[in-house]
Amino acid sequence: MNVSDVRPLIGITTYYQHATWGVWNGEAAILPGNYLHAVVDAGGIPVLLPPRGTGTKVLDTLDGLLVIGGSDVDPSRYGENAHPTTEFDTERDSHDFALLGAAEALGLPILCVCRGAQVLNVAHGGSLLQHLPDVLPEGERYRCAPGVFSDTRITIDPESLAHSILGDSCTVSSYHHQGLDRIGKGLMVTARSADGLPQILESTDDSWLIATQYHPEEKRLEDRRLFAAFVAACGSRTEAVSDTKPTPSEEITE
């Protein structure tokens, strides 16, 4: 098979919660469709990773990891008691933290979205602002109504990976009530909104790692460029790994 015909395998974390399908309703592993479409449209093959039966060995077969949005992170992970508005799922936390740590150790390209950015920051020893309306004059604008995304203008560091993809600034889709506070070791803020809130994190080394506080899977052309770059990075890794494998004529048999 020609290596150029091989699409990269992208692991995607999911929810596990009550859902309805057909005539049925019950507990299910679910993924909002926009994440799926964003990965497929960019040329990736999605591999869903539900927060049950977690095993990091699956990452050995994947080319990248997408950590999606969702509920809050358990604040005990960064040494705080829960705010009245904080809602978390410890089993999903364990799942996401395990996969993220293993993916970083393997050097996989990683894209983290909203909750995913918060998981990344806490995993690196950082902390979170548990309820933005308590600390920002217009903090409620980031989650203005149930199921309604708000527009946020962000400015991007010109020396960053994000800048090479998105340029100086862009308008993004926000839906979150928490934010990044103390930034974890080995991470740096490369984009902020006008109120100073961190909107993008990247690695301080040369890893392909981008974490957005906002939702790039929503239908904005400038946001979808981020998925295109992520899947391309995963594809480059696929080709690099394939190039190191011996062809059938090079294999040694006993």
Beta bridge partners of 198: 192
Between the CA atoms of 215, 220, 222 and 227, what dihedral angle is there, to the nearest 10 degrees? 60
The per-residue DSSP string of 167-212 comes to -SEEEEEE--S-EE-SPPTTEEEEEEETT--EEEEEESSS--EEEE
Q: Classify the C-alpha dihedral 145-90-15-182 as positive or negative.
A: positive
Catalytic hit among 131, 170, 215, 234: 215
Asked if 95 is an active-site residue, the reply is no
Question: Do 127 and 179 contact (CB within 8 A), yes or no?
Answer: no
Give me the catalytic one of 95, 112, 202, 217: 217
| DSSP three-state, residue 6 | coil
Tell me if residue 65 falls in helix, strand or coil. Answer: strand
Q: At what angle do helices 115-123 and 90-106 cross, to 10 degrees?
A: 70
Out of 95, 104, 112, 114, the active site residue is: 114
Active site residue 114: yes
Strand partners, 112: 67, 211
The gap between the terminal CA atoms of the chain, to the nearest Å, is 25
Across 210-230, b (16+ Cβ under 10 Å) vs e yields bbbbbbbbbebeebbbbbebb
Active site amino acids: 114, 215, 217
